[in-house]
Amino acid sequence: MKPLFGDGIIKANGEIWAHQRKLIAPEFFLNRVKGMVDLMVDSTSSLLRLWESRMEDGGEVEIEVYEDLRNYSADVISRACFGSSYLRGEEIFFKLRALQKALAKPNLLAEITGSRLIPNKSNREIWKLEREVHSLVLELVKEGKGLEEKNLLQAILESAKEEFSSLDKAESFIVDNCKSIYFAGHETTAAAASWCLLLLALHPYWQDLARAEVTQLCGTLTPDAHSLQKMKILTMVIQETLRLYPPGPIISRESLGDMELGKLRIPKGLGIYIPVPTLHRDPDIWGPDALIFKPDRFAHGVTSACTLPQAYLPFGVGARKCLGQQFAMLELTIVLSLILSRFSFTVSQTYCHSPVYNLMLEPEFGIKLIVKKVC
């Protein structure tokens, strides 16, 4: 995954990781995230206007929502963290997407033999995309140096200036962290929002409940930080969706010393892969209805939803838990509440259900819904 994440916060370890976390974490503290509500509402409003423009006289229309939600989420992360719109960073997102797809192709032979270092057609394409993304990010950085508004990009730039005497090391630090945040900040949220809409389309009872809650709390007004905190039903829907369709289905770790885990003896240096969907659908943990969409299992929080709360890890667990959890939950709540307030939706007959692992869990053929304006 090095071409995609480099030595940014997702891949780094030890002191380098600790420094990056100390730098980036404050940008995602709750007080900072709350200040992004208006920005997220504004980006969502553009998405809603796009969907309305596709409808004829208040009729209904089939929409492939995943691609639109990816563009929406890319706009949010661009504006919130880097002070630029999605349109400015569109080429970066396009090439990161291509890089993601190239790296997601299973290639056990490359892992065993190290042939990923051989200049074959596939590797040359990956290296070319990596160079292009590097150049594009640095171009964006140069433009961002003159911005007065303090954002994550400015914090990364200041840290690179202080920590690295070498220009190459400073640039790699900047590019690797920008790539990591661009990718993690929009791909995962877009996938989660898409699975949410699919499950609400399949379960009109919960769709109606969530819409009624949004109407009661917001009326004709746009949601604010206060009303968003009160959306209990929508929060349960999001939590249950993240249980059934966790954006990051595999968590990988390396044992730093010999240890025992239950009856297992794990030697130092062993690679450990945690299959999140297996934990999230285990009937011993979640009960006999573990495979059923049941948001009210979270009515009293995660601790009451299952026998082992540590087994619920859509954002990871422990010291490496996702820094953007609060950012993602706020963004999901905003986009879903505004969509519910404007539209109702059912599953299109042309939809083909095929969750696929491309470094995260996404719909292979998109998610096609029949969308209709709410009177």
Which range is most confident: 7-16, 280-289, 355-364? 280-289
Give the pLDDT mean for 215-238.
91
Residue 371, pLDDT above cutoff 90: yes
Q: Answer whether residue 93 is part of any domain.
A: yes
Packing angle between helix 167-202 and helix 152-163, nearest 10 degrees?
Answer: 150
Q: Which of 38, 30, 132 is nearest to 76 (CA)?
A: 38
Run of H or E including 16: helix 14-24
At which of 231, 258, 280 does a domain end? 280
Domain boundary (234, 265, 280) is at: 280
Segment among 19-23, 66-70, 87-91, 95-99 with least mean pLDDT:
87-91
- In a shared domain, residues 266 and 132: no
Check whether 315 has a pLDDT greater than 60: yes
Alpha helices per DSSP H over 252-324: 276-280, 283-286, 302-305
Q: Which two tokens stand for residue 62?
A: 């089939």
Question: Which of these three, 263, 280, 297, is where a domain ends?
Answer: 280
Query: Does a structural domain hold residue 289?
Result: no
Is the domain of 214 the same as that of 238?
A: yes
Query: What is the three-class DSSP state of 118?
Result: coil
Give the mean pLDDT of the chain: 86
Q: Do 43 and 165 have their domain in common?
A: yes
The pLDDT score that the predictor gives to residue 46 is 92
Same domain, 101 and 137: yes
Domain assignment present for 295: no
> Does 340 share its domain with 321?
yes
Pairing verdict, β 343-347 and 368-373: antiparallel
Domain span at residue 276? 249-280
Element (H, E) at 236: helix 232-244
pLDDT at 42: 92
Chain center to CA of 280: 18
- Say yes or no: 240 and 259 in one domain: no
Q: What is the reported pLDDT for 147?
A: 55
Same-domain status, 330 and 269: no
Whether 69 maps to a domain, the answer reads: yes
Tens of pLDDT, residue by residue over 195-212, are: 999 999 999 999 999 999
Residues 6+ apart with CB under 8 A from 102: 122, 125, 126, 129
* Chain segment 85-144, per-residue pLDDT in tens: 666 677 887 888 888 778 776 555 555 555 666 767 778 888 888 888 888 888 877 776
In a domain, 325, yes or no: yes
Q: Is the pLDDT of residue 12 over 90?
A: no
Helix (H, G, I), strand (E, B), or coil: what is residue 301? coil
pLDDT computed for residue 88 by the predictor: 65
Which one is predicted more confidently, 46 or 175?
Answer: 46
Reduced to 3 states (helix: H, G, I; strand: E, B; else coil), residue 47 is: helix
Work out the percent of the chain whose per-residue pLDDT is above 90: 46
Give me the number of domains the chain comprises: 2
Q: Report if residue 11 sits inside a domain.
A: yes
Both 127 and 257 in a single domain? Answer: no
Tell me if 322 is assigned to a ligand binding site: yes
- Whether residue 302 lies inside any domain: the answer is no
Whichever domain contains 149, its CATH number is 1.10.630.10
Q: How confident is the model at residue 56 (pLDDT cuts 50, 70, 90)?
A: confident
The band of 191, judged by pLDDT with boundaries at 50, 70 and 90, is very high
Residue environment code for 86-123, b if the CB has 16+ CB neighbours within 10 A, otherwise e: bebbeebbebbbbbbebbbeeeeebeeeeebeeeeebb
Residue with tokens 């190290």: 114
12-21, 217-226, 313-322, 340-349 — which one is most confidently predicted on average?
340-349
- Quick one: 231 and 201 in the same domain? yes
DSSP assignment of 348-369: -TT----EEESSSEEETT--EE
Residues 276 and 230 in one domain: no
Task: Tell me whether residue 169 is in a domain.
Answer: yes
Q: Tell me: do 201 and 95 sit in the same domain.
A: yes
Give the model's confidence band at 145: pLDDT under 50 very low, under 70 low, under 90 confident, else very high: low
Angle at 321 between CA 83 and CA 188, to 5 degrees: 55
User: What pLDDT does residue 112 have?
Assistant: 53
Which pLDDT does position 110 carry in this prediction? 54
What pLDDT sits at residue 355?
Answer: 94
Residues 244 and 255 in one domain: no
pLDDT for position 28: 80
Better-scored residue on pLDDT, 172 or 307: 307
Single-letter amino acid code for the residue at 273 = Y
